[in-house]
């Protein structure tokens, strides 16, 4: 059974670059045809999709964050990564990674437990 | 971007009640609509995919319907563990957009 585990810095200062990792276990990240997404949720608020990467490298981003986001896959480590530059307090949130099938028909069926990021001076 | 409008934003109900939550898309999304349940401090859990398909392991009291722009999630007989927040999400096109959520509370 595929499991996802996010990891990150926890606390950051404004203007820094956030770097998060999602480690995939139970299967190879490059097996099958999947998109791997990053989603975030500010405390007490709803879900915001950040972007996704296809196993073979194609990416899509939320236009509201596109200029600051990089998503990549490291197949040797079975991980995907998120980088978000120039963070502000508005980027404080729980960040999740999740998987969906290539045809976008199965929903985000596997989620990590989330990692909390707080941006504060 | 496709906008998703979910209603109601909150709902009070009792164990055993039948509950319906609706989600409307700003344009047709065929059946690229999914429903999630989220409990406090936990990641969202997929309940229904492609508008009406029950995710493996999800109790059959959950059901979904709709296509095009209008969708519903129905819980046929509320159980104590169903009190949570529910989100719809479209995957017809990127950016994926979630509804604003429906908080289901105990009456």
Q: Answer yes or no: are the C-beta atoms of A38 and A96 closer than 8 Å.
A: yes
Closest Cα in chain A, distance from residue B3 (Å): 12
Of the partner residues A37, A105, A113, the one whose CB lies closest to the CB of residue B50: A105
Residue A38 has pLDDT above 90, yes or no: yes
Q: What percent of chain A has pLDDT over 90?
A: 88
How close does chain A come to B53, measured CA to CA in Å? 9
What local confidence, expressed as pLDDT, does residue B53 receive?
Answer: 98
- A108: nearest CB among B46, B50, B97: B46
B35 neighbors B45 (Cβ within 8 angstroms): no
Distance from the Cα of B82 to chain A's closest Cα (Å) equals 18
Asked if B1 is an interface residue toward chain A (Cβ–Cβ < 8 A), one would say yes
> Mean pLDDT per segment of 10 residues, for chain B of length 107 residues?
96 97 98 98 98 98 98 97 97 96 95
pLDDT for position B101: 98
Partners of residue B99 in chain A, C-beta under 8 Å:
46
CB contact under 8 A, A113 and B96: no
> Which pLDDT does position B60 carry in this prediction?
98
Residue whose C-alpha is closest to residue A93's, from A2, A27, A20, A3:
A20
- The confidence score (pLDDT) of residue A57 equals 81
Q: Which of B46, B55, B98 sits opposite A47 (nearest CB)?
A: B98
SS (H, E, C) chain B: CCCEEEECCEEEECCCCCEEEEEEECCCCCCCEEEEEECCCCCCEEEEECCCEECCCCCCCEEEEEECCEEEEEECCCCHHHCCEEEEEECCCCCCEECCCEEEEEC
**Chain A CB contacts of B34 below 8 Å:** 107-108
Residue A10 has pLDDT above 80, yes or no: yes
Question: Is the CB of residue A29 less than 8 Å away from at least one CB of chain B?
Answer: no
Q: How confident is the model at residue A31 (pLDDT cuts 50, 70, 90)?
A: confident
* Contact check, Cβ <8 Å, A112/B46: no
pLDDT in the model for residue A56: 79
Are the beta carbons of B44 and A111 separated by less than 8 Å? yes
Q: What is the mean pLDDT of chain A?
A: 95
What pLDDT, on the 0 to 100 scale, is given for residue B30?
97
Work out the end-to-end distance of chain B between its first and last CA atoms, rounded to an integer number of angstroms. 36
Q: Is the dihedral of CA B28, B34, B35, B36 positive or negative?
A: negative
| Pairwise CA distance, residues A91 & A87, whole Å | 6
CB B63 within 8 A of CB B52: yes
How many whole angstroms from its chain centre is CA A98?
7
Cis before B8 (ω within 30): yes
- Residue B103's pLDDT is 98
pLDDT at residue A55 greater than cutoff 90: no
Per-residue pLDDT, B7? 97
Residue A88's pLDDT is: 98
Q: Answer whether A4's CB lies under 8 Å from A24's CB.
A: yes
Lowest model confidence (mean pLDDT) among A25-34, A72-81, B70-79: A25-34
The span from the CA of A104 to the CA of B49, in Å, is 10
């Amino acid at each position: 059974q595929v499991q996802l585990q996010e990891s990150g810095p926890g606390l950051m200062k404004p203007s820094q670059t956030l770097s998060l990792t999602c480690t995939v276990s139970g299967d190879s990240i490059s097996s099958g045809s999947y998109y791997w997404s990053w989603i975030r949720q500010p405390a007490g608020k709803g879900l915001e999709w950040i972007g996704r990467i296809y196993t073979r490298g194609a990416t899509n981003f939320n236009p509201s964050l596109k200029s600051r986001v990089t998503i990549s896959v490291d197949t040797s480590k079975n991980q995907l990564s998120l980088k978000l530059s120039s963070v502000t307090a508005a980027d404080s949130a729980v960040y999740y990674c999740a998987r969906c099938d290539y045809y976008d028909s199965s929903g985000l069926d596997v989620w990590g437990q989330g990692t909390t990021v707080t941006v504060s001076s | 971007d496709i906008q998703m409008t979910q209603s109601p934003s909150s709902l009070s109900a009792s164990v055993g009640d039948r509950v319906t939550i609706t989600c409307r898309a700003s344009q047709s999304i065929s059946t690229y609509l999914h429903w999630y349940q989220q409990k406090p401090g936990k990641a969202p859990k997929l309940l229904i995919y492609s508008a009406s398909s029950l995710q493996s392991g999800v109790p059959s009291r959950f059901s979904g319907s709709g296509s095009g722009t209008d969708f519903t999630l129905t819980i046929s007989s509320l159980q104590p563990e169903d009190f949570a927040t529910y989100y719809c999400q479209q995957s017809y096109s990127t950016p994926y957009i979630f509804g604003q959520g429906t908080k289901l509370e105990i009456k």
